[in-house]
Amino acid sequence: MKSLSQLKEVIKDEAGIIAVADRLGLKLKQYGTAHKCCCPIHNEKTASFNASPKFDTYHCFGCGTSGDQISLVMAMKRFDFIDALKWLAKEFSIVWEFEKETPEQKKKRATRKAKIEPNRLVAREWFTNLKKNHTYLDEMGWSATTRTKFGIGITGESLAGRFVNSEHFELAVELGLIGSNSTRQWEVYEDRIMFPIVDYKQNLVGFTGRTLLEKKKNNPKWKNSKASDLYKKDEVLYGLVQANQDPANRREAKIHIVEGCTDVVSMHDVGFTNTVAALGTALSEKHLKRLWKCGYRSICFMYDGDKAGRAAFDKSLKLALELGFTCTVSVLPEGEDPHSIIRSSKVYPMRSTFNWCPIELQEEEPVTRHLSAFFEITELDALDYLFRSFNIKSPGQRIAARNSCVEYLAAIKSDTSRHIYIDEVVKLIKVNKKDLKDDIQKLIDDSVDEEDVVATNFRMAITEEQAEEVDKFGFFENKDQAEIGYYFQHGLGFYNRESNFLIEPLFHIYSKSDNKRLVKIKNNRKESIVEVPSKALVSHQLLREIFAGEGNFFFQTAKNEVLMKIILRLGENFPLCHEVRYLGWQRKGFYAFSNGILNGKFTPVDGYGIVQHKDENYFLPAFSKIYENSDEDDDYSNDRYYKYHDTPYTFMEVAKLMDEVYSYNRNGKVAVAFLVASCFRDFIYEQHRFFPHLFLFGQSQAGKSQLGWTLDNWF
């Protein structure tokens, strides 16, 4: 069986980018060697999406997204990595199998599955209880289709009585479905309309319930499941699964963020399916990163028109800007929320509801048209709205407004966008532009630890060797630990320190689908081995992000020509290396394990994952220093099981013992033959389009199970 990384490569080989795009419904047209169409990731009218069959990659010159066939499926289908692989395997008739999960992984998965089961049981029961309309639902006005889409239900008979003698009792208490102490059990969700909460993998992780007895004392209007290892409130967004199911949303790449589940359901009910909410917690960085991973790049905040809604908007906007989102805000009338506006529009036309609406609408037009018009005129650029909302009548208010502007402007990732907003702030608040820019830059610099801020403009004497470097390259490498970095000449005797680290080229790992450089980076406190995609060498922002992601490794300069000079110097010193994409027999004449190669004798990889064969370098990443601190479930976790071990036994000796121990019905011989065949399974399957299963026959206690265990542990 193949490891997950090997299976990925098989799928990429079988399913080319053009064939995958066709299965996804893209209408590619060939222009020379390129294939083009309108981008499915963002909304456009002119084709800027390019697919390359030579390299099995795509790139959109409109929105900048790029990747391979797997990332394209992830973006268009809103799948995670594993689901994308499964979809491709099914579409292209590739057998889906890889190494078994470890006992620890199996136990963890079983525990999580067991915790989900009580939620599923009550959700099914509550949904069944709601066979017909309830007064509350009549007031909400939601269609039966929408109620089914969100699994909305109503509590019924006692859950405490049902679970008390059940195998799920302890889990039900842990999940907060029922309450319990040493003397009694009680209902947590009594007389409530229930809204199931699912995570992005569609696991039912919790509930939020709205009371039907508002006049009852000490009875909160809403009750939410408590946070747990199953329901992580700072990660789960209500409505995200339903939003991802609408293909139009991935094309628009825009999401509405509202405050509550009724707002989400109401928005979906009238066609605005790109709507989500954080429940029981403020919008977090993890929420926003999940949205980004799902392909959303633009956010429209639709918080309630009150002080709490404004406070939530202020905090969420800064987080979203820091992650690179484009942000707008729908300014709702005070006291209104998306649900109340939608509910009003269903009762009478929008124009009579909000008589200031400048868009001409006919009373008989669909509700969605009225709402689209309303949201269109109330949706404003988020930063522009924020800046214009500041009260600047007094000097103190102007100072406070200016300080707030500095914080938000420093959060913007794009330098170009930041400069545009700076001009706007200067006009609005009447402040000095240079001072404003200086304060913004200071805040950006201060976001880096003081020890990591790179000092510049040194007057220093340099060695003869360093002077030769300056003459040849325009800069020199200072390897002194205290002041390590690249120094560029800036006048006679003066040098700018442009980084707080040095880069040591290790290898150019050549591959048509995954070309990259292996480098060692070192500052005054640590060093790291880093994989750098070759495309990062021409995308300087990406290069900065890769190095900064490793810790305290920063470029001081914003000048691309400085970085290009460093890259050009490094480019001369990368020995060529080939990545081994499949473990097992290689056409170059050796057998590859995850920790080395076998060619008569075993040669282990070095610390970088490099091994040499006939004067050529090969890269086996599983045991490279790059991944020594990674999580267990990285791309090479399964490969690590397939490593070379010294053994005193030969294959023939073990095969003979197998035949002797499992002689009944010649099971030993059959098993050894199957084992040998399985080593060449990919060749056999490619030739015959099938591979047999192993069936062992014999009476009870004949050793069949033990034989299976022996085969599983042969290597």
pLDDT, tens only, 124-139? 888 888 766 577 777 7
Of the two residues 676 and 361, the one the predictor is more confident about is 676
d(CA 178, CA 169) in angstroms, rounded, equals 9
- Which whole-number Å values give the CA distances from 576 to 507, 515, 516, 611, 665, in the listed order? 6, 11, 11, 12, 53
* Residue 289 and residue 210 share a domain: no
Q: What's the confidence (pLDDT) of residue 300?
A: 94
Q: What is the mean pLDDT of the chain?
A: 81
Q: How far from the centroid of its chain's Cα atoms is residue 57's Cα?
A: 19
Least confident of 158-172, 308-322, 323-337: 158-172
For residue 27, pLDDT beyond 60: yes
Q: What's the confidence (pLDDT) of residue 160?
A: 67
* Residue 585 and residue 633 share a domain: yes
Q: What range defines the domain where residue 345 resides?
A: 240-384
* Residue 51 and residue 23 share a domain: yes
532: in domain = no
Q: Is the CB of residue 374 less than 8 Å from the CB of residue 354?
A: yes
User: 169, 191, 224: which is the final residue of a domain?
Assistant: 224
pLDDT tens-digit readout, 369-391: 667 777 777 889 999 999 998 88
Q: What's the confidence (pLDDT) of residue 240?
A: 93
Q: Is the CB of residue 80 less than 8 Å from the CB of residue 66?
A: no
Q: What's the confidence (pLDDT) of residue 1?
A: 54
Confidence band of 363 (pLDDT split at 50, 70, 90):
very low
Q: What's the confidence (pLDDT) of residue 364?
A: 44
Domain of residue 132, CATH code: 3.90.980.10
| Among 624, 454, 614, residue whose Cα is nearest residue 529 | 624
Give the DSSP per-residue string, 224-286.
EPPP-SS--TTT--BTHHHHHT-HHHHHHTEEEEESSHHHHHHHHHTT--SEEE--SS---HH
Domain of residue 80, CATH code: 3.90.580.10
Q: What's the confidence (pLDDT) of residue 547?
A: 85
- The stretch 299-327 carries a mean pLDDT of 85
Fill in the amino acid letter for 326.
T
* Residue 372 and residue 250 share a domain: yes
d(CA 40, CA 38) in angstroms, rounded, equals 6
514: in domain = no
d(CA 562, CA 486) in angstroms, rounded, equals 10
Question: Residue 680 corresponds to which tokens in the numbers above?
Answer: 């060449």
* Residue 634 and residue 659 share a domain: no
Question: Residue 271 corresponds to which tokens in the numbers above?
Answer: 């066609």
- The stretch 454-480 carries a mean pLDDT of 75
562: in domain = no
Phi, psi values for residue 139, rounded to 5°: -65, -35
Of the two residues 433 and 307, the one the predictor is more confident about is 433
For residue 452, pLDDT beyond 60: no
Q: Is the CB of residue 176 less than 8 Å from the CB of residue 115?
A: no
Confidence band of 3 (pLDDT split at 50, 70, 90):
low
* Residue 394 and residue 379 share a domain: no
For residue 174, pLDDT beyond 90: no
Fill in the amino acid letter for 170.
E
Phi, psi values for residue 39, rounded to 5°: -65, 130
Q: What's the confidence (pLDDT) of residue 280?
A: 83
Count of structural domains within the chain: 6
396: in domain = yes
479: in domain = no
For residue 274, pLDDT beyond 90: yes
* Residue 72 and residue 131 share a domain: no
Q: What's the confidence (pLDDT) of residue 186?
A: 81
* Residue 403 and residue 362 share a domain: no
For residue 455, pLDDT beyond 60: no
Confidence band of 629 (pLDDT split at 50, 70, 90):
low
* Residue 45 and residue 133 share a domain: no
pLDDT tens-digit readout, 470-518: 888 888 998 887 788 998 877 656 678 888 899 999 888 887 777 888 8
d(CA 425, CA 402) in angstroms, rounded, equals 8
Q: What's the confidence (pLDDT) of residue 559?
A: 66
Q: What's the confidence (pLDDT) of residue 628?
A: 65
572: in domain = no
Q: Is the CB of residue 171 less than 8 Å from the CB of residue 118?
A: yes
Q: What's the confidence (pLDDT) of residue 267?
A: 92
Q: What's the confidence (pLDDT) of residue 355?
A: 39
pLDDT tens-digit readout, 198-248: 988 788 898 999 988 877 777 888 888 888 888 889 999 999 989 988 878
- The stretch 330-353 carries a mean pLDDT of 68
* Residue 250 and residue 379 share a domain: yes
* Residue 174 and residue 54 share a domain: no
Of the two residues 358 and 545, the one the predictor is more confident about is 545
Q: What's the confidence (pLDDT) of residue 447?
A: 62
Q: What's the confidence (pLDDT) of residue 348?
A: 40
Domain of residue 322, CATH code: 3.40.1360.10
517: in domain = no
326: in domain = yes
**Bridge partners (DSSP) listed for residue 58:** 51, 67
Q: Is the CB of residue 669 less than 8 Å from the CB of residue 659?
A: yes
Give the DSSP per-residue string, 392-460.
-SSHHHHHHHHHHHHHHHHH-S-HHHHHHHHHHHHHHHT--HHHHHHHHHHHHHHTS-GGGPPP--EE-
Q: What's the confidence (pLDDT) of residue 132?
A: 62
For residue 564, pLDDT beyond 60: yes
* Residue 175 and residue 70 share a domain: no
For residue 362, pLDDT beyond 90: no
Q: Determine what percent of the chain is predicted with pLDDT higher than 70.
A: 88
Question: Residue 246 corresponds to which tokens in the numbers above?
Answer: 């609408």
**DSSP for residue 338:** H
Q: Is the CB of residue 329 less than 8 Å from the CB of residue 379?
A: yes
Q: What's the confidence (pLDDT) of residue 382?
A: 92
Q: What's the confidence (pLDDT) of residue 493?
A: 62
The CB density around residue 103, as the number of other CB atoms within 10 Å, is: 8
pLDDT tens-digit readout, 63-108: 767 778 888 898 888 787 888 888 998 888 787 776 566 777 677 7
- The stretch 580-596 carries a mean pLDDT of 87
